[in-house]
Amino acid sequence: MSEMAHVSGEAPTFPERFNLADYFLFDRLAEGSGGRTAIRFGDRAWTYAEVADRARRLAATLLRAGLAPGDRVYIVLPDVPPFAWAFFGALRAGGVVAMGNPLAPVDDLAYVVAYVRPRVVITTPDVAAKVMPRAPGPQWWVAADAGTFDDPEAAVVPPAGARCLASLLAAASTDAEPPPTHRDQPAIWLFTSGSTGRPKAAMHCHRDFAFNCEVYAKRTIGYRPDDVCISVPRLFFGYATGTNLMFPFAVGACAALFSEKPTAERIAWAVKHYGATALTNVPTLIARLLELDQEQALDLSPLRWCLSAGEALPPALLERWLSRFEVPVYDGIGSAEMFHIYLTNRPGDVRPGSLGKPVEGYELAILPQDARGPGATPVAPGETGVLWVRGDSVAAGYWLDRDKSWATFHGHWCRTGDLFRVDERGDYWFCGRADQMLKVGGQWVSPIEVEACLAGHPAVVEAAVVGVERDGLTLTRAYVEAREPATPALAADLQTWVKAKLARYKYPREVVFVDALPRNDRGKVDKKALGD
């Protein structure tokens, strides 16, 4: 059983010999929780003991395949139970986990394989068949993407050159001794969203994830053993890897999975079918659930709270949600560079529109945009600057990008690139990305401010604001998904709405109606796909 020393109110500390597979999974067995339900998938369930058995077998198989400490294991699976034993098995074997979206384009997956250089790729037969010819170096192990996961007799046939994961595990040892791991040994690489180019891997060690789990999941949000957790974001995304795998496992709760697209209909089904108490959500699906509720009254009463992150949560949307469902939403912000949430609203302290206060154990500073290090003088309260974060979950740097690492990581500190201001109550307010502010008519415009304003209009489902060039000048264009017919009159009404609520110069010069906003594989609006 892993040891952890901490006193309530103090920063958690961890012993030198430390492995996340113990912390999240095998410690539950040592505590006597092996018979508790760890995973549900449809009508099937797996206990902690059953997940641990598969993780042991997978770790032994990796070691027999030549995995050395620090070798990467690239997991490209949908939200199915084998994701869990691949994840914990790789960590137990001393490998480094990287995760990818099985629905990503073949070119993108092949690029990441070349970038990550994994020893083993664990994925579906379909992904292996498409990507293997482009990336033949690693071993390819395939698992079913739905249905039978354990029985090699019923498992899918892998493509030529790949091996069946169920068959490998059936033949594996359960008593192979894993190599010792250090708390600062590389454990997981989390990918940035790639908003300004190819995604980069932020390199994290074992204690990073346990630290955030202790201070955020346990102390701030309050995950409980009786929680049943579901998620809109998929497990390959660090936001959901934390909230719908690591955090429930850390307290002996249940991670309830489904592999279908997370539509409003599917989320409503999952809440009812699993009796979910905790929902990892995003603003878009909050809006979609409210839209669906107008067609058929939804029962979300099992939920005791929701999380929201990834994009700004407009106050008008939160107010609509609370007036209908009375389920609190804890809006927060995190990043791949810090693993997870470091600034959030929390039980008993929700300020609509703000991102709340720092998570215990993290130190925040708002510095001028041109600050070159954390020693710069902070901006005055109420003024906007770039957010810097200090905490024990900070990454060591980006893989194969030392220049970008130097610009982002400064010892214990991370420059986030997010613009914030802090008010007299100590609440933090997101003002956009420093690299996405728009200068219109000589004055700065925050797209997020205009988007939040538009979201308050009764005809707007969702909006995204970008800058476009006209005759050498920048102007703002709003892409709007509307719940009313798209007409010139509605476009004019939206412009008038913004003029009345914000400084006049901030109104969108153009309004374009769309059926739906494009999104990247993290669920964020893909503004690179918008424009001329």
User: Could you give the CA distance from residue 100 to residue 98 in angstroms, rounded to a whole number?
Assistant: 7
On the question of pLDDT at 451 being above 70, the answer is: yes
Please give the Cα distance from 182 to 17 (Å, whole number).
5
What angle is formed at CA 170 by the lines to CA 164 and CA 171, rounded to 5 degrees? 95
Q: What is the largest CA-CA distance in the chain?
A: 70
Q: What's the pLDDT tens digit per position in 508-526? A: 999 999 999 998 877 778 8
- The pLDDT, as a whole number, for residue 198 is 82
Report, as an integer, the average pLDDT of 477-495. 94
Q: What pLDDT was estimated at residue 474? A: 81
Give the integer Cα–Cα distance in Å for 505 and 509.
Answer: 9
Q: What is the pLDDT of residues 87-115, one digit of tens each?
A: 999 999 999 999 999 999 999 999 999 99
| Cβ-contact 2, 25 below 8 angstroms | no
Return the percent helix, strand and coil in the chain, to nearest 5.
30, 25, 40
Between 155 and 29, the higher pLDDT residue = 29
Closest by CA to 174, choosing from 49, 355, 334, is 49
Count the Cβ atoms, other than its own, within 10 Å of residue 107: 10
Which strand (E) or helix (H) includes residue 490?
helix 488-501
What are residue 481's phi and psi, to 5 degrees? -95, 120
Structure confidence at residue 9 (pLDDT): 59
3-class SS at 193? Answer: coil
Pick 32 or 520 by higher pLDDT.
32
Mean predicted confidence (pLDDT) in 353-370: 96
Residue type, 111: Y
Average the pLDDT over 308-317 and give the result: 88
Angle at 135 between CA 185 and CA 199, to 5 degrees: 55
Return the closest-CA partner of residue 249 out of 392, 89, 91, 39.
39
- Is 90:62 a contact under the CB 8 Å cutoff? yes
116 pLDDT higher than 90 = yes
Average pLDDT in the 60-66 region? 96
What is the structure's pLDDT at 523?
76
Task: For residues 361-381, give the mean pLDDT.
Answer: 95
What is the mean pLDDT of the segment spanning 67-89?
Answer: 97
Q: How confident is the model at residue 53 (pLDDT cuts 50, 70, 90)?
A: very high
Find the mean pLDDT for residues 219-234.
98
Q: What is the mean pLDDT of residues 19-43?
A: 98
Q: Does the pLDDT of residue 388 top 50, yes or no?
A: yes
Q: Rg of the chain over CA atoms, in angstroms? A: 23
Question: What pLDDT band is residue 443 in, cutting at 50, 70 and 90?
Answer: confident
Give residue 139's pLDDT. Answer: 97
Q: In this predicted structure, which of 57-61, 64-68, 294-298, 437-441 has the lowest mean pLDDT?
A: 437-441
Q: What's the confidence (pLDDT) of residue 157?
A: 79
Strand partners, 343: 333, 358
Domains belonging to the chain, first-starting first, are 47-203 (3.40.50.980), 438-529 (3.30.300.30)
pLDDT for 458: 93
**Cβ neighbours of 72 (radius 10 Å):** 24
- Predicted local confidence at residue 134, as pLDDT: 94
Instruction: Flag the least confident range among 244-258, 310-324, 442-456, 475-489.
Output: 442-456
Q: What is the pLDDT of residue 266?
A: 97
| Spatial separation of the C-alpha atoms in residues 115 and 40, rounded to whole Å | 33
* Residue 4: predicted pLDDT: 42
- Please list the residues that pair with 149 across neighbouring strands: none
pLDDT attached to residue 371: 94
- DSSP characters for 382-437? T--EEEEEE-TT--S-BTT-HHHHHHHEETTEEEEEEEEEE-TTS-EEEEEETTT-
> What pLDDT does residue 196 have?
53
Q: One-letter amino acid identity for 458?
A: P
Q: What is the mean pLDDT of the chain?
A: 92
pLDDT at 253: 98
User: Are 74 and 111 contacting, i.e. CB atoms less than 8 angstroms apart?
Assistant: no
Percent of the chain at pLDDT exceeding 90 = 80
pLDDT of res. 470: 78
Does residue 5 have a pLDDT over 60? no
More reliable by pLDDT, 176 or 334: 334
Stated pTM of the model: 0.88
> What confidence score (pLDDT) does residue 7 get?
37
131-187: per-residue pLDDT in tens?
Answer: 999 998 999 999 976 666 666 655 677 899 999 999 999 999 888 889 999 999 999
Tokens standing for residue 106: 């073949």
- The token pair at 353 is 């529109």
